Structure 1
Amino acid sequence: MNITTNWIHKHFPSARGVASETIEIRNVFTDTRKKTDKGLFVPIRGDRFDGHEFLKDAIEGGAVAALWDQSVEVPGFVPTDFPLFFVDDTIIGLQQLAHIYRKEINPKVIGVTGSNGKTTTKDFIAAVLAPSFETHKTSGNFNNHIGLPLTILSMPATTEVLVLEMGMNHFGEIENLSFIAEPDFAVITNIGESHIEFLGSREGIAQAKSEILAGLREGGTLLLDGDEPLLAPLHTREGVLSCGFDQKNKYVLSDIQMSGASTSFAINENESYTIHLLGKHNVKNASFAIKIGSLLGMDPSDIQKGLNEMTLTGMRFELIEGKNGAHIVNDAYNASPTSMRASIEVIKELNQYSRKILILGDIFELGAQSEEMHRSVAKAIDSSVDVLITVGDASSVIAEEVRSHHKDVDTYSFSSKEEAAALVQPMLQEGTIVLLKASRLMAFESFVEEFTE
């Protein structure tokens, strides 16, 4: 980080205290529960709280300066020399500060959005590029209108490549993030059903994800899921590269082989790579990283080295050793119908396991289409699955659908995770694999504790 109060003052001249002095800022923060060292506090106003009320905690916790909504009275306890920078809106002020800092450091910026796989793709891109470039990436789920600016402001001044995940719930949010970040490369991983409750349809989701183009720099490159018909209108734009399994794509993915916990594949039949993750969907996620590496001048051997060093953000198709030699796939970070079907397809292809158990939970934010979308998951389930267990009201229709079409699949519906865990415990043995998949609020990671030593 390369920020001082004097630097902030140049861009936010309305201030009090010793704002024009050169006081080092080592981090920017919004959460006063975490201690900091020489931090810039940004108080956020929410529906149920106002961060301005926690300025004292911020100062005691290590803040040396703060942004401040000019409509809020400054408390009497604030030292007269403490730098406050007055803005009309602290969130907008945070975003403006991040945009200025991004332009000053001027790394190559890669923005990643999509209904599913954006975190995995972000991790792939960072892993591939890190051996060749000083790389900084979104941590955890800091991918919204507050998290993305904080990620930008946390990058070291020596950063050469910045990889930013961009999430959203509503129209206009990705557009705003794109303007803040000004990406040189944009990635749309796919179009699923996440947030369809707010966006109305998959067409609406495609429109919202395409907003990433709003801030794309002149001459920038868009990489996208070339197998998705809803993204077809973007193919005619200059600088668009498509990745996918269909032969019409610029980069065609083929010869996919899964072995152990790895997947090997080819790109345009002349480049071969291996990733230490399972599944065709992860092959596509990796292909975006590989092609960005190529565009930045990396050779295939260095790209493969980066893939080998990939560290996956937690609860995304993690293969874990369970009790009695069983294996657990913890894919519980989140879910949509598309990602749930993709995970099921991977499990079905793992022929080294003699028993395959699916534990599926409710998918949220599907609105009026919830029942239809949950039923669509059942299309991926056939007699190659031994046991299906659903947990929750909404997901029970998956079980209902499977019972009516595949009577050879042992199917159960439970209202609680405890009931499901009790049923599965005796089934945990060598040759068994268990998939855990549900929306984040279902907290399916609790099964991992139950099913591991």
Structure 2
Amino acid sequence: MLNNIMTSVGGKRMNKEPFPTNQRPTIAVTGSAGKTTTKSMIASILRQRWTIYESRDVNNAFINTERSARRLRDTHQAVVVEFGIVYFGHIIKHCGFIKPNIGVITNIGTAHIGNFGGDVTKLAAAKSELIQHMDQSGVFLFNADDENSKHLLIDSFPGTIIKVGINKQADYRAEEVEYIEGGMNFRVKLNETYFPFHIPIYGVHNIYNALFAIAIGDLLGFTPDEISRGLEQYNKPVMRMATSTLSNNITVIDDTFSANVDAMKAAIDVLTNVGKDRTKIAILGDMKGLGVISQEAHMEVGAYLAKKKVDYLYTTGELAKMISQSALVQGMPPECVIHFEQKESLFQALTNLSPSTAILVKGARKSRMEDVVKYLIANYGEV
């Protein structure tokens, strides 16, 4: 099933044998962000030709992997599952129920970092349990552009290592990245030929998710056309870069499922690109689970936003107040930064928006920032 692979490890090139035809591709995805989107993209590509098992919705705790193991049937030609972690040992438990022979770590960010004392190396070590407990003759993929992925415990892995990226050298690299109406365009070289791809979702960070899916599809022998169709048709997870057009040409970017520093920055980048030549409003809530780095993290988001061409910053939540404070310190005009103690006051400020406004709404799941999205849709109506 798997083509011959030439990949780089420690600066050296390696030849690997084809993926064994007597093994069912069993793909596990973990990482600080992008797990569900990556899983959905991979599954959509493989589903173009195969009957597959895909873990359900966003249930990524190890107890749900145990349930997935009971649902597997001989008719499933491939398995695609998502491994979530909160503490050390969780991925070991996942692998005890379903042992992958293809593993993906999307990135190492700040999600749940509070449970690791704010230490990114400990978080990377916990994620590295996938590398250590997957099939050691299998294939492992990671993001070459992700700075924190250098902390992954890769060196002792004897299998095949595949890198994806945009900026740095990688085995699967996206080029000519551009925003277009409704999503992103880019191209990737497969078998010495460049092929164009489109994903129906905004954000450069989602191109990395697509690259993992493209790499796995290509390695398992799927054609560029099958890969392209899979990316076009993947099931987009809810509240993750979901874009709605409201009356008066108001665009709402709903990214309210979760929040960490890297995800906040990525979402702000999307707002600045989607909202070019328009009034841009960022409505941000708390980030949770950051522990000792919580203050630093919220201040970092505020400083980042102040450097972007965002016209207004609205925050709500006790922690999110630090985002506003930091943006003000970094020079954002005071009349453009408002912190709301209650969402009801925020709703009032959103009652008479100017036409052609682009709005990003984002925060931790516990912040229930989707309430803001629901209010906007109810007040202005979807087109």
Aligned to 1:88: none
Aligned to 2:162: 241
Aligned to 1:172: 89
SS across alignment from 1:274: strand
CA distance in 1, matches of 2:327, 2:149: 31
Aligned to 2:122: 204
After TM superposition, the structure 1 = structure 2 runs for residues 159-238 of structure 1, keeping only pairs within 5 Å, are 159-200=76-117, 201-232=119-150, 234=153, 236=155, 237=157, 238=159
SS across alignment from 2:86: coil
Quickly say closer, same or farther: Cα 1:294–1:383, change in 2 above 3 A: closer
After TM superposition, the structure 1 = structure 2 runs for residues 15-34 of structure 1, keeping only pairs within 5 Å, are none
CA distance in 2, matches of 1:114, 1:383: 27
Aligned to 2:345: 419
SS across alignment from 2:197: strand
8 Å CA contact 2:33–2:106 kept in 1: the answer is yes
Aligned to 2:184: 263
SS across alignment from 1:394: coil
After TM superposition, the structure 1 = structure 2 runs for residues 58-137 of structure 1, keeping only pairs within 5 Å, are 107-137=24-54
Aligned to 1:434: 359
After TM superposition, the structure 1 = structure 2 runs for residues 43-62 of structure 1, keeping only pairs within 5 Å, are none
Matched, 1:376 2:294: no
Aligned to 1:38: none
SS across alignment from 1:426: coil
Quickly say closer, same or farther: Cα 1:251–1:234, change in 2 above 3 A: farther
CA distance in 1, matches of 2:115, 2:332: 36
8 Å CA contact 1:345–1:380 kept in 2: the answer is no
Deviation at residue 235 of structure 1 after TM alignment = 5.4
Deviations 1:270-303 (A, max 9, x none): 2321100111100000100010000110111110
SS across alignment from 2:68: helix
SS across alignment from 1:174: helix
SS across alignment from 2:62: coil
What runs of 5+ residues in structure 1 fail to find an aligned partner? 1-104
User: What TM-score do you get using the length of structure 2 for normalisation?
Assistant: 0.86
CA distance in 2, matches of 1:296, 1:194: 31
CA distance in 1, matches of 2:220, 2:230: 14
Deviation at residue 170 of structure 1 after TM alignment = 0.4
What runs of 5+ residues in structure 2 fail to find an aligned partner? 1-21
Aligned to 1:288: 212
Deviations 1:374-394 (A, max 9, x none): 111123313510110111111
CA distance in 1, matches of 2:333, 2:55: 44
Letter aligned with residue 419 of structure 1: S
Deviations 1:186-235 (A, max 9, x none): 00000111111111211111111111123311421011111123333655
Percent sequence identity is 28
8 Å CA contact 2:125–2:153 kept in 1: the answer is no
Q: What root-mean-square deviation, in Å, do the aligned CA atoms of Structure 1 and Structure 2 show?
A: 1.9
8 Å CA contact 1:353–1:433 kept in 2: the answer is no
Quickly say closer, same or farther: Cα 1:353–1:149, change in 2 above 3 A: farther
Aligned counterpart in structure 2 of residue 404 of structure 1, from 323, 329, 345:
329
Aligned counterpart in structure 2 of residue 333 of structure 1, from 257, 267, 290:
257
Aligned to 2:12: none
CA distance in 1, matches of 2:277, 2:101: 43
User: What TM-score do you get using the length of structure 1 for normalisation?
Assistant: 0.73
CA distance in 1, matches of 2:325, 2:87: 32
Deviation at residue 425 of structure 1 after TM alignment = 2.3
Letter aligned with residue 200 of structure 2: H
Aligned to 1:444: 369
8 Å CA contact 1:352–1:431 kept in 2: the answer is no
Quickly say closer, same or farther: Cα 1:145–1:247, change in 2 above 3 A: closer
Aligned to 1:52: none
Deviation at residue 246 of structure 1 after TM alignment = 2.7
Structure ranking higher on relative contact order (CA contacts 8 Å, 6+ apart): 2
8 Å CA contact 1:323–1:451 kept in 2: the answer is no
CA distance in 2, matches of 1:235, 1:212: 10
CA distance in 2, matches of 1:149, 1:353: 49
CA distance in 2, matches of 1:262, 1:276: 4
Letter aligned with residue 299 of structure 2: R
CA distance in 1, matches of 2:275, 2:245: 17
CA distance in 2, matches of 1:387, 1:199: 34
Deviation at residue 157 of structure 1 after TM alignment = 3.9
CA distance in 2, matches of 1:245, 1:235: 20
CA distance in 1, matches of 2:178, 2:153: 30
Deviation at residue 353 of structure 1 after TM alignment = 5.0
Deviation at residue 360 of structure 1 after TM alignment = 0.5
Aligned counterpart in structure 2 of residue 385 of structure 1, from 310, 316, 321:
310
